[in-house]
């Protein structure tokens, strides 16, 4: 339970002068950078500096010269608004983050953006800022570490053995995702996950006891965590003792509840919301320097302080020791060593592409008409045995999402080496945990729910796209075609809004063949996530030539060409509506109309093609166009223009069998045929 700020000491704890001076370097850099930018959050870095000093100097296993070392500890700043804490730590310990970049905090093109962003700054393990998600990422990292250890460590050879440490604030714990992720972490017994709760009693609106009075220690104990309560976050010895206690508990994640004073050292803003999200002001910065006994100017760090913080020597030694162990491992288990390196580099097996292509060709030849969710499961059964890095899961819908395949082994506290996570009803938590698994490396995570419930997970999807992570989000029950569950479960606008997320690859396959291609492309994609959107209802197989088969990867292609000359009209369709559009195409062709049918399973990929290809599929001269999709119509206007039409749905659905709904809302061959003919008139 958070302690009211007025009940806290302004200078608590037994003070070790040397440690306090090292921590004050973090405070000084943090308040200087925020002041120079006139923007940022100095309070949390100043309050957590003593905790960070103990963790980073006494426990964190890392090498500033190689931020990507496989067996490093992972450190996550879930309360990412306190980014200057992390930037200060990275700079002081010796990462390639020069002082000039701290001076450019929050400026265009700097390595020090307002919140930590993966890929911008060496040593930043994940993008944080949306509160609670860093905590969920850390859970994913801990799952990945334990699963890799179970798979690759052998008697006498331990090559995977590291901790995941995460800092979090009140905001992280107020966000609902903290419940989802921490509940699962406790259930799985993630003993190498250690969290530090910055219990400073302050958020942007003021003292949190006005709206957040949870008994946090009891809450986490109920999750199955080991909890160290009421630790003085400004007493280095108390923090050290708490970390020691946490590291000894190996069958549960640990939460260390650190009571701190936000803006520690500021004479007039310490312990107040004024230090949370704004620069202290020049006078207050000067007064804070004096109170802390920090005798150096802005951004001035003496050599002795740098030497006290530097992790270069011990980091090089830690990695060198690991490399010796790995060389011994490679001598004893050469195939496993090669597999470990492949997995950590993110490469797929060399023969995987040929295997996947053979399966796609076989699926095309079989010509089976099945629901695309079934086609997805068939693809997993075919490709899964070739991909030991697959880490699957579903948000309590495995029997509906069909994400289980023959080689799945459930992950549990007793079986940490599984490859399938039963996430329970935790869509948001699942998605952010998958991001953490991907960030850790060694696995390609996929997880599933109904398309409608992508809404619960939306911000984690955005974060996956922002961080360019290879994560596969599987969504089934893709339209009103799911039927009787009704409008609460029938997605209308979700496809369009998923496609609007930059760097998100969204596939809506029309049959088993496109489903298999979608899986292959998602698994090979290394610069961002994919959404694979599958149907509940059966879809008709569409015949394709070998050449047409290759064009599926371009996102949109000619499925059926106009007969008797150049096309006078175009039909564009996706998913289950491709079958309906094909029926209309046949009727129109029989009536002597020259119509081209385009299947567009991935609009983003199609838009990324060169202009010549796009023109070859959707020639500008053909202005009579009809798009067909069981979703909102506005998205398709960019393809059909003002002279075209969209057969779609701009209202919520109804509860009824799928066939009745498609008839009621006009998703029929007759309506598509009618619409094309009306344009041709």
| H-type alpha helices, 367-410 | 372-383, 398-401
Is 7's pLDDT higher than 60?
no
- Domain spans of the chain? 17-316, 351-533, 552-680
- The answer to the question of whether 162 is labelled as a binding residue is no
Is 6's pLDDT higher than 50?
no
Question: What tokens does 501 get?
Answer: 């997320």
Residue 375: helix, strand or coil by DSSP?
helix
| H-type alpha helices, 38-160 | 43-58, 83-93, 99-103, 133-152
Is 284's pLDDT higher than 70?
yes
Average pLDDT over residues 148-154: 98
Q: Would you say 594 and 567 are in contact if contact means Cβ atoms under 8 Å apart?
A: yes
- C-alpha distances out from residue 637 to 506, 560, 605, 644, 653, Å: 18, 22, 17, 8, 22
Query: What was the pLDDT predicted at 14?
Result: 75
- pLDDT tier for residue 13 given thresholds of 50, 70 and 90: low
Nearest alpha-carbon partner for 378 in 603, 571, 534:
534
List the CATH code of the domain at 351-533: 3.40.50.970
Q: Would you say 544 and 364 are in contact if contact means Cβ atoms under 8 Å apart?
A: yes
| Separation CA 616–CA 612 (nearest Å) | 6
Strands 164-169 and 595-599, by their bridges, are unpaired
Nearest alpha-carbon partner for 394 in 408, 406, 382, 381:
408
- The answer to the question of whether 131 is labelled as a binding residue is yes
Residue pLDDT, tens place only, 425-453: 999 999 999 999 999 999 999 999 999 99
DSSP 229-265: EEEETT-HHHHHHHHHHHHH--SS-EEEEEE--TTTT
Query: What was the pLDDT predicted at 493?
Result: 98
Is 10's pLDDT higher than 50?
no
Neighbouring C-beta atoms of residue 526, cutoff 10 Å: 12
Report which secondary-structure segment, H or E, holds 664. helix 658-664
| Separation CA 163–CA 150 (nearest Å) | 15
What architecture does CATH give domain 552-680? 3-Layer(aba) Sandwich (3.40)
- The answer to the question of whether 170 is labelled as a binding residue is yes
- The answer to the question of whether 187 is labelled as a binding residue is no
Residue 34: helix, strand or coil by DSSP?
helix
Report which secondary-structure segment, H or E, holds 559. strand 557-560
- The answer to the question of whether 400 is labelled as a binding residue is yes
- The answer to the question of whether 453 is labelled as a binding residue is yes
| Separation CA 227–CA 224 (nearest Å) | 9
| H-type alpha helices, 256-351 | 282-292, 303-309, 312-332, 334-345
Burial 75-92 (b: 16+ CB within 10 A, else e): bbbbbbbbbbbbbbbbbb
Give CATH superfamily name and number for 17-316: Thiamin diphosphate (ThDP)-binding fold, Pyr/PP domains (3.40.50.970)
DSSP 134-162: HHHHHHHHHHHHHHHHHHH-BTTB-----
Which percentage of the chain shows pLDDT scores above 70? Answer: 98
- The answer to the question of whether 489 is labelled as a binding residue is yes
Residue 611 annotated as catalytic: no
Neighbouring C-beta atoms of residue 15, cutoff 10 Å: 14
* Average pLDDT of the chain, as a whole number: 97
- The answer to the question of whether 373 is labelled as a binding residue is yes
Query: What was the pLDDT predicted at 8?
Result: 47
Strands 164-169 and 193-199, by their bridges, are parallel
Average pLDDT over residues 525-534: 98
17-316 and 351-533, same CATH topology: yes
Active-site residue, from 145, 274, 427, 521: 427
Is 4's pLDDT higher than 90?
no
Q: Would you say 602 and 556 are in contact if contact means Cβ atoms under 8 Å apart?
A: yes
- The answer to the question of whether 81 is labelled as a binding residue is yes
- The answer to the question of whether 171 is labelled as a binding residue is yes
Is 12's pLDDT higher than 70?
no
Nearest alpha-carbon partner for 24 in 240, 338, 289, 219:
289
- pLDDT tier for residue 246 given thresholds of 50, 70 and 90: very high
Q: Would you say 285 and 1 are in contact if contact means Cβ atoms under 8 Å apart?
A: no
């Amino acid at each position: 339970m958070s302690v009211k700020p007025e009940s806290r000491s302004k200078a608590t704890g037994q003070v070790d002068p040397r440690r306090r001076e090292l921590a004050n370097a973090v405070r000084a850099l943090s308040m200087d950078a925020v002041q120079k930018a006139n923007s940022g959050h100095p309070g949390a870095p100043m309050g957590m500096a003593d905790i960070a000093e103990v963790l980073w100097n006494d426990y964190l296993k890392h090498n500033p010269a190689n931020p990507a070392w496989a067996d490093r500890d992972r450190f996550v700043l879930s309360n990412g608004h306190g980014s200057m804490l992390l930037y200060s730590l990275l700079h002081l310990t010796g990462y390639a983050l020069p002082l000039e970049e701290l001076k450019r905090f929050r400026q265009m093109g700097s390595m020090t953006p307002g919140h930590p962003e993966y890929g911008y700054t060496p040593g930043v393990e994940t993008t944080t800022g949306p509160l609670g998600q860093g905590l969920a990422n850390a859970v994913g990292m801990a799952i990945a570490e334990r699963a890799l250890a179970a798979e690759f460590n052998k008697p006498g050879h331990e090559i995977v053995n590291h901790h995941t440490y995460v800092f979090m604030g009140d905001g992280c714990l107020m966000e609902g995702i903290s419940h989802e992720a921490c509940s699962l972490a406790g259930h799985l017994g993630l003993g190498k996950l250690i969290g530090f709760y910055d219990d400073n009693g302050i958020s942007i609106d003021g003292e949190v006891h006005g709206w957040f009075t949870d008994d946090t220690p009891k809450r986490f104990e109920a999750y199955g965590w080991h909890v160290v309560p009421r630790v003085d976050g400004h007493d280095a010895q108390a923090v050290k003792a708490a970390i020691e206690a946490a590291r000894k508990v190996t069958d549960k994640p640990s939460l260390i509840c650190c009571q701190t004073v936000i803006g520690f050292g500021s004479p007039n803003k310490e312990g107040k919301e004024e230090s949370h999200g704004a620069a202290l002001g020049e006078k207050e910065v000067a007064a804070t320097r004096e109170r802390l006994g920090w005798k150096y100017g802005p951004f001035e760090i003496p050599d002795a302080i740098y030497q006290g913080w530097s992790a270069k020597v011990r980091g090089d030694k830690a990695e060198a020791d690991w490399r010796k162990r790995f060389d011994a491992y490679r001598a004893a288990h050469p195939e496993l060593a090669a597999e470990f390196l492949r997995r950590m580099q993110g490469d797929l097996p060399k023969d995987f592409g040929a295997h996947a292509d053979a399966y796609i060709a076989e699926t095309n030849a079989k010509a089976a008409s099945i629901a695309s969710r079934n086609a997805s499961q068939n693809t997993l059964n075919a490709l899964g045995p070739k991909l030991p890095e697959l880490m699957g899961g579903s948000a309590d819908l495995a029997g509906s999402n069909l994400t289980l395949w023959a080689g799945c082994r459930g992950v549990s506290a007793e079986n940490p080496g599984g490859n399938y996570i039963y996430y329970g009803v935790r869509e948001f938590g699942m998605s952010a945990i998958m991001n953490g698994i991907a960030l850790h490396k060694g696995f390609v995570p996929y997880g599933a729910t109904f398309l409608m419930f992508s809404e619960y997970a939306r911000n984690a999807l955005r974060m996956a796209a922002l961080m360019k992570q290879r994560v596969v989000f599987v969504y089934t029950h893709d339209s009103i075609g799911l039927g009787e569950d009704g409008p609460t479960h029938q997605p209308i606008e979700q496809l369009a809004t998923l496609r609007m997320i930059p760097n998100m690859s969204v596939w809506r396959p029309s049959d088993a063949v496109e489903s298999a291609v979608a899986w292959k492309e998602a698994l090979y994609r290394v610069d961002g996530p994919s959404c694979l959107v599958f149907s509940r209802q059966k879809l008709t197989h569409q015949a394709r030539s070998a050449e047409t088969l290759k064009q599926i990867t371009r996102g949109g292609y000619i499925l059926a060409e106009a007969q008797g000359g150049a096309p006078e009209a175009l039909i564009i369709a996706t998913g289950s509506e491709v079958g309906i559009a094909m029926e209309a195409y046949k009727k129109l062709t029989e009536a002597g109309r020259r119509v081209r049918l385009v299947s567009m399973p991935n609009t983003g990929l199609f838009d990324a093609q060169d202009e010549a290809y796009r023109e070859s599929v959707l020639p500008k001269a053909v202005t009579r166009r009809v798009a067909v999709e069981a979703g909102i119509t506005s998205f398709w206007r960019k393809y059909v223009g003002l002279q075209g039409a969209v057969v779609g749905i701009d209202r919520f659905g109804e509860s009824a069998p799928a066939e009745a709904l498609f008839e009621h809302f006009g998703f029929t061959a007759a309506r598509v045929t009618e619409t094309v003919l009306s344009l041709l008139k």
